Structure 1
Amino acid sequence: MSGGVHDGQLVWSVETSCGGCGAQAVACGWGEVPGDVRAAMIAQYGTARLRLDPAVARPLRVRLLAALRRSGGGSLAEVAGLFERLTGDGVTGTEAEMRLLANRLAAEGARVDLQPPPRAG
């Protein structure tokens, strides 16, 4: 199972095999990760956290809200709440989701802090 960012889009893949017959299957895609695949990625790898430097982000608020809306962030009220979380404790998601959002917000001038999931040791 893997996820990443390619050409400004999420990419994901999952390989499975049947314990009984040994048959193998591969599923992959671009864009939004299916809920069950996303949940399995988080269970296996943990979550990354993205924060924005509030001192840099606040003067860019309108540009960043527009970028969040273009990224599928929802209504204006929803993206305003997301902006507040990003400039506060941050938001979490798969590493690829947070990397994609960090790239988009950095392109608008935000200073991003992306903390990858803790690595199992």
Structure 2
Amino acid sequence: MQIADRGRLRWEFNWSCSNCGIESDDGDWGQAPGFIRDLLLAEHGSSCIKVVDPDASGAKIMKVFRDIFGESMQEAMNSTRGLKAGGHSGTHVEVRLIAEKLDASGIRVQSCGPE
């Protein structure tokens, strides 16, 4: 599972093996590892948002991507360009958190539909 808590992403992955009895409760703050994120997308689908105002502050958008995903400046710049050009897709939790943080910065977004 993936949750947003106090403006941060958190993921958890719980599993057990009935054959050997091993159980695991893994989790951490930040973006979920690729295999967990892929499972979430496969099971629940994705969400997509785009910026309503194409002249919205790129610096504010970059800050949101850096804060949520720990992106480098170049990665945040690329994410910002994508969000402004055609939209950004991700898990429902990721997209909702991005939208909330952008809204708090005065940047409005709208859904661009599921992918």
Class of the TM-score when normalised by the shorter of the 2 chains = 0.7 to 0.9
Q: Which moved more, 1:83-92 or 1:59-68?
A: 59-68
Could you give the per-residue CA deviations for residues 67-121 of structure 1, whole angstroms, max 9, x where no partner exists? 434443322x443332222123201111111112111111111111246758xxx
What corresponds to 2:34 in structure 1?
35
Identity of aligned residues (%): 27
Provide the rounded CA distance (Å) in 1 between the counterparts of 2:27 and 2:51.
31
Could you give the per-residue CA deviations for residues 50-80 of structure 1, whole angstroms, max 9, x where no partner exists? 2111x3x5143333334434443322x4433
* Amino acid in the other structure paired with 1:46: G
- TM-score, length-scaled by structure 2: 0.77
* Amino acid in the other structure paired with 1:44: E
Provide the rounded CA distance (Å) in 1 between the counterparts of 2:20 and 2:26.
19
Decide whether aligned partners of structure 1 residues 87 and 73 sit closer, same or farther in structure 2, where only a CA change above 3 A counts: same
Secondary structure at the residue paired with 1:58?
A: coil
Q: CA RMSD in A?
A: 2.5
Secondary structure at the residue paired with 1:87?
A: helix
Provide the rounded CA distance (Å) in 2 between the counterparts of 1:24 and 1:17.
4
* Amino acid in the other structure paired with 2:78: G
What corresponds to 1:74 in structure 2?
72
Provide the rounded CA distance (Å) in 2 between the counterparts of 1:59 and 1:45.
30
Mind listing any 5+ residue stretches in structure 1 that lack a counterpart? none
Secondary structure at the residue paired with 1:32?
A: coil
* Amino acid in the other structure paired with 2:31: E
Decide whether aligned partners of structure 1 residues 14 and 65 sit closer, same or farther in structure 2, where only a CA change above 3 A counts: closer
- TM-score, length-scaled by structure 1: 0.74
Secondary structure at the residue paired with 1:81?
A: helix
